[in-house]
Amino acid sequence: MTLLTLRDLPLWRDARPYLDVRNNDEHTLVAYGVAKMLLKELPEAAESVVLPAILLHDVGWKKVPQELLLEAIGKNPSRPDLVRAHEVYGVEIARDILERHRPEGVDIEAVLAIIDGHDTTRHAKSLEDAVVKDSDKGWRTTPHGMAVIRGWYGWSVAEYIDMVSVVSNPRLLTAPGRAMAEGFTASLRAQQSLSEYLEQ
């Protein structure tokens, strides 16, 4: 099955040069897959807004000094200003990409409104915004998200479970998004208990 829609493939090609930092290329593709799953559970959400928004949401990190990236994210981030900066830059870059291609049926302003605030606002402006936020934050609980983020910080699985339980999962906004994240988190907790039952 093809991951990206034909409509979104040109957007991806233009976005990719901006996503070669902080594993954002991989994160974007996995979060896009999560968004497609959430859209199946929430068919009233506009796919033509959600998928372009998740594809372009993190392009702004390219303009943030790379040596400062890990100060902007994680369990105790010290540079929230950088998070806001990547949203502002992201709107500029995404607008250029979207206006260059003008994909059919895509409300460019609705996509940009989601990118502008996807990390710094906890409330959802729309159902589409909620789906994008849940796809982005929910990625952290996926096997891919866990492997990437644990690699950044050298966290144990237990430390990682603590982070997603405290930082990520409470911020999810849709019932399917919460169910997905809690399911992945529960599987991690179960994994932590394997030796208790298998090494007897």
Would you call 164 exposed, middle or buried from its count of C-beta atoms within 10 A (0-12, 13-18, 19+)?
Answer: buried
Condensed to tens digits (0 to 9), the pLDDT of residues 111-124 reads: 999 999 999 999 99
pLDDT at 200: 63
174-200 pLDDT, tens per residue? Answer: 999 999 999 999 999 998 899 889 976
User: What does the DSSP 8-state code read for residue 75?
Assistant: S
Q: How far is CA 19 from the centre of its chain?
A: 12
Cα separation of the two ends of the chain: 43
How buried is residue 156: exposed, middle or buried, by Cβ count under 10 Å (0-12/13-18/19+)? exposed
Yes or no: say if 39 and 138 are a contact pair by the CB < 8 Å rule.
Answer: no
pTM of the model: 0.93
Phi and psi based region of residue 189 (left: phi greater than 0; alpha: psi -120 to 50; beta: remaining): alpha
Domains assigned to the chain: 9-198 (1.10.3210.10)
Rounded to 5 degrees, φ, ψ at 146 are: -65, -45
User: Distance between CA atoms of 36 and 34, rounded to whole angstroms?
Assistant: 5
Angle 75-167-147 (CA atoms, 0-180°, nearest 5)? Answer: 70
Residue 181 near residue 133, CB atoms below 8 Å: no
Stated as kind and residue range, the H or E segment containing 71 is helix 69-72
Q: What is the pLDDT of residue 93?
A: 98
Question: Which residue stretches of the chain have pLDDT < 50?
Answer: none
If phi > 0 it is left, if psi is from -120 to 50 it is alpha, else beta; for residue 45 that is beta
Say if residues 31 and 135 touch (Cβ distance below 8 Å): yes
Phi, psi angles (nearest 5°) of residue 126: -160, 170
